Structure 1
Amino acid sequence: MLEAMNIDEITEFLGALDGVLILRPGPGDGTPEIAWGDKFFYYAPDGEIPANTQPFATVVTKNYPDDERSRLDRSGVFRVNIQVGTELFTTWTGRAPRDPEPTDTDPSVTDTVIAHPVYGKLGWLAVVAPGPRTTETIRELLRVAYDRACSRTRRRTESR
C-alpha cells in the first residue's frame, strides 16, 4: 500500500518536471502573510511568473477568508489543489464545474478527491490531507494539470 504524500513529496514531484516554478511565500519577500507557508506551482520555462496566469496547482496549509470549509486549521492538515479542467472535473465529481454543488458535500473529508470548495467552478479539484488512497491519483492529476499548463503556454507563444 502506498503511503500518504506530504507537502515536501508533492513539491519534489512537481519540481522535477521541466519548467516548473515554485513560489514559496514567506517573511520578507513582499507576499501577504496569509500565503506564507503555502506553495504555488506554475509552468514557467523562463523562470518568471507568467503574466495573467494562475498556478496549475497549489498547496495550502491554512484557512483563507471565505475558504474555511476544508477545516485546514486541524493539526497537520493541508490541501493540494489541482486545475484539471472541465472533462476531468466532471469525471471525478459527476457534475460539470458550473453545476450546483450537492448540498451533502463535505469539503473537509480527507484522502478523497473533491471539487475545490471555492474554485471548483473553474475546474479545480482538491484533496484534503492526502493519504494512501489518493497518492497515485494526486500524481496523475498533477501530471495532467502540468501538461495542460504546458499546452496553454505553447499556444500563447505560438499566437504571438
Structure 2
Amino acid sequence: MNEASITRYITDTLDGVDVVVASREAGSPELAWGDTFFSYDPGRQLPPARRFPFATIVTKDYGEFDCASQLDRPGVFRLNIGVSKETYRSLFGPQPSPPPAGRAVETGHDFAALDRLLPHPVYAPQSWVCVLNPSEATFEAVRPLLAEAHQLAVSRYAKRETRE
C-alpha cells in the first residue's frame, strides 16, 4: 500500500471525510507540509480550530518531538489512527503514560518497524495507533480501526452540532 491508495480507500469508503494535505496554501505550519489529515466534516465548513483528524499520514520526523519512527528513511510513511480506549487496550493493554518532551512512550515496541500495528510513539496515551508502510494484508487488518476512528469522529461531530 502507498499513501495515495490509503487516501483513496479512506475517501471512497468513509462518508463525509475532508482531506487536507498540509501546505503553505492550506495555511499549515511548515513542519507539517506534505502530511495528510483526515477529518469528518461533511459540509466542509468546520473552521481549522475545530477540525480534529481521526487519521493522518505523516511522511517525516517532527524534529525531537516525534522521531522514533525514523520517517527520514526513503519512502517511509506512517498511518496514524485514533481509536477508542477499549480498542487500544484490547490491542496493547493499558495506555502508557505521556512521554517526556522529545521522547517516545515506553512500551517496548520498535517504533521504526515497518508493516506492524503499533502504539503511536507520542499519542498512545490518547489511544492512537499506527503502522509504517502497511502491506495489503496489514492494511486489511487496519480497515476496521479506520472505520472505528471515523465513527468516533462522526459521533463527536454530532454532539457538537447538537450543542450549537
- What is the TM-score with the length of structure 1 in the denominator? 0.88
Give 2:8's aligned residue: 12
Q: Cα 1:95–1:133, aligned 2, differ >3 Å: closer, same or farther? A: farther
> How far apart are the structure 2 equivalents of 1:40 and 1:133?
23
Give 2:115's aligned residue: 111
| Structural mapping, 1:45-60, within 5 Å | 45-49=42-46, 51-60=49-58
| Structural mapping, 1:117-156, within 5 Å | 117-156=121-160
> How far apart are the structure 1 equivalents of 2:107 and 2:58?
24
1:84 to 2:83 alignment: yes
Alignment size in residue pairs: 156
**Aligned-pair CA distance for 1:90:** 0.6
Q: Cα 1:47–1:97, aligned 2, differ >3 Å: closer, same or farther? A: farther
- What is the TM-score with the length of structure 2 in the denominator? 0.86
User: 3-state DSSP class of the match of 1:22?
Assistant: strand
User: After TM superposition, which residue ranges in structure 1, 4 or more long, deviate above 6 angstroms?
Assistant: none
Q: Cα 1:143–1:58, aligned 2, differ >3 Å: closer, same or farther? A: same
> How far apart are the structure 1 equivalents of 2:128 and 2:107?
18
> How far apart are the structure 2 equivalents of 1:53 and 1:26?
16
| Structural mapping, 1:3-82, within 5 Å | 5-16=1-12, 17-49=14-46, 51-65=49-63, 66-82=65-81
User: 3-state DSSP class of the match of 1:130?
Assistant: coil
User: 3-state DSSP class of the match of 2:22?
Assistant: coil
Name structure 1 gaps, 5 residues minimum: none
Q: CA RMSD in A?
A: 1.9
